[in-house]
Structure 1
Amino acid sequence: MTRPWRAALGLFLAALLFLFVAPQAARADVSRPVGWSLASATSQVHVGRVTLRYDPRLEDEALAVAREIPRAWSEIEHELAGDLEDTLTIHFVSHSGRIAEGTGMPQWAAGVAHPPTGEIAIAAHAPDGSLTDLDGLLRHEMAHVALYRATGGQPLPRWFHEGVAESFGEEIDLMRSQTLAGAIFGAGVPHLEQLEQNFRATDAITATVSYAAARDFVNFLRWRDEDGSDLRQALAQVKQGKNFEAAFVNGFGRTLAELDTEWRGGLTGRFMWFPIVSGDGLPMALAFPLVFLAAVRRRRHLREGWARLEAEDAALRAPFAA
């Protein structure tokens, strides 16, 4: 199979995945107003300043979500701002249809956030009844809220909003990686000025490539410097009222166009595996080291997150103890 045909096949498969898999567990960050009423979420548990309301029939899954909350929020807030207001209300229900009833979102939305109020809703099952990735849904919606708080609710490009949420939602996303690789060796990766328009496209391939590109570019921004301070500085500048592009110049010392060029310069080398995978195939076992490293990293952040929340709770209780 020639290279053009391999790339076209990769994009075609990615489009099929988008059409038949992604919509089943889709996420959203806009909803009808606040004060959601998800009637089935009648039980609740508190994790620091986070209230998790859940369907009592999902108690085991809810407790697993509760254990994930400290690490997930701690990592996201640290990378975006260092420290943010921690108050969140998370609704956990059985099916995406319950989210639609309570928030006004489409039936296919298995996760939704209302950043101004810090409300999040996630579902255990997608529209077709399949299990959702609760960890990914939780982190994705938390990222929308955290980004809103890190920037003081200032207007941001859609590609950046979704890129940040996608970046934190999945540390390793083979589908997105394959989609981006197919574009690199095929029709090309859209430039930043195209992404905003592409996010409103109805064409499946255009949408999948744009999500994958936004996610990878945000990953590049997150990990470009050793401690991620450039991104935090840029977002702090946005919060202070700076223009989005000017804030990135102040934070990264480069324009968005220059950062885009730098990112693109490394794409071909990073995705040289794609012609091998799309040709003769690459054993999936080779991806196991990446999964192991991600698991180790997550466990470390979980310990750090719990320690931070415990310290904050102790500080809040101190005046009353005195």
Structure 2
Amino acid sequence: MVQPTPAPHLSERARRASLLRTALGARLLAVALASLMALLTFAAPREARAEHGEPISWSLDDASSRLHVGRAVIRYEPGLDDAALELAEELPGWWSEIEEALGRDLDDELTIHLVSHAGMVARATGMPVWVSGVAHPPRGEIAISMHDPDGSRSDLDTLLRHELVHVALFRATGGAELPRWFHEGAAESFANEVSLMRAETLAGAVFGSGVPDLERLESEFRGDARQASVAYAAARDFVTWLRYHDANEAQFRQLLSQLNKGRGFEQSFEDAYGAPLAELDSDWRAGLLGRFVWFPLLGSGSLPFLLVGPVVVFAWIRRRRRLAEDWARLDAEEAAERAARLEQLTVAAGAW
């Protein structure tokens, strides 16, 4: 980044103070915006890098080394041992979080192929050359790469979580036929929590060419890079909006239950939300302008901190509440384990 050149008449002390104020202001703005985005949109892989596709051959013979994690197998290329071990450590926790979010205990048999470059994923699965990850939900098979098509290091954690959601969603709905926007939106929404890039992309569409309707979204996933990026951002935001439509995400889980029972896609929305999909879509779109009001202000350099201050506080409270709930759950589990051990000891003592 090119630094501004200080005016010649400023003293060295004044110049340093000015730079310090600029850096501090930039950092405060970044923190505020990150908190704002945590409420507005939730993250996923870089641009249109992750795909839910229909692999052709899955010829990934180079991934010859294996790690077994329960019923899951991680196959990886020799030399990628450290990355494979890191994924193996996180995999059970990620799968458990996805199961909890979807409200179902799912089959955890998986095969994950870890290769060095995205080109190998594309060649092996018949997907476009720009993909870094692919899932084949019916087979429970996933392929991800250490490096993106441009050679940069991929975000393996987010990439794998994204593809795991594709498999989990297929299993949670009993293999129901789902629109592309719903599959990708769910994978993006559950994969991570914060994505400034996705928020900026969607905001640009809101104040620019407009957000494509659901029917157009289906085709734009296969469009150029800009179209695909907007499609991912819009689908992700809409699914996140559907998830948090009620306080405990019960309606979203009810939607999945209806799909699992064989109900039609649109009828399942009517059953779960008490409103047709078209009405929900309209309500979501009606709120976009207000939620992204910061975008033109940011572009003009006049974003007031009063806009983001309350949001930062709300995000902090929400995170604290969630942390307290997690601790309470752990305490309850520990208490149950202690009670079970005590009962075993009591039984053993009686037998003795």
Distance 1:128 1:205 in 2: 17
| 3-state SS of paired residue (1:90) | strand
Trace 1:108-147 onto structure 2 (pairs within 5 A): 108-147=130-169
The answer (yes or no) to whether the contact 1:38–1:101 under 8 Å persists in 2 is no
Deviation (angstroms), 1:109? 1.7
Deviation (angstroms), 1:91? 0.9
Which of 249, 256, 259 is 1:228 aligned to? 249
Q: Which residue of 1 aligns with 2:55?
A: 32
Letter in 1 for 2:231: S
Letter in 1 for 2:271: N
Larger Rg: 2
- With normalisation by structure 1, the TM-score equals 0.76
Higher RCO structure, 1 or 2 (CA under 8 Å, sep 6+): 1
Which of 169, 173, 198 is 1:176 aligned to? 198
1:137-193 superposed Cα distances (whole Å, 9 cap, x missing partner): 101111111111111112111111111112123321111100111122223222323
2:273 is the counterpart of 1:252: yes
Distance 2:235 2:135 in 1: 19
Distance 1:33 1:278 in 2: 44
The answer (yes or no) to whether the contact 1:111–1:141 under 8 Å persists in 2 is yes
Q: Which residue of 1 aligns with 2:213?
A: 191
Q: Mean Cα displacement is larger for which, 107-116 or 42-51?
A: 42-51
| 3-state SS of paired residue (1:112) | strand
2:291 is the counterpart of 1:267: no
The answer (yes or no) to whether the contact 1:92–1:123 under 8 Å persists in 2 is yes
The answer (yes or no) to whether the contact 1:221–1:231 under 8 Å persists in 2 is yes
The answer (yes or no) to whether the contact 1:79–1:222 under 8 Å persists in 2 is no
Number of aligned residue pairs = 278
Distance 1:281 1:162 in 2: 34
Q: Which residue of 1 aligns with 2:16?
A: none
The answer (yes or no) to whether the contact 2:52–2:184 under 8 Å persists in 1 is no
2:233 is the counterpart of 1:212: yes
Q: Mean Cα displacement is larger for which, 98-107 or 38-47?
A: 98-107
Taking only the aligned residue pairs, the percentage that are identical comes to 53
Q: Which residue of 2 aligns with 1:160?
A: 182
CA RMSD of aligned residues (A): 3.1
- With normalisation by structure 2, the TM-score equals 0.70
Q: Which residue of 2 aligns with 1:18?
A: none
Distance 2:297 2:92 in 1: 39
Unmatched 5+ residue regions in structure 1?
1-20, 312-322
1:4-41 superposed Cα distances (whole Å, 9 cap, x missing partner): xxxxxxxxxxxxxxxxx736xx122223346x342222
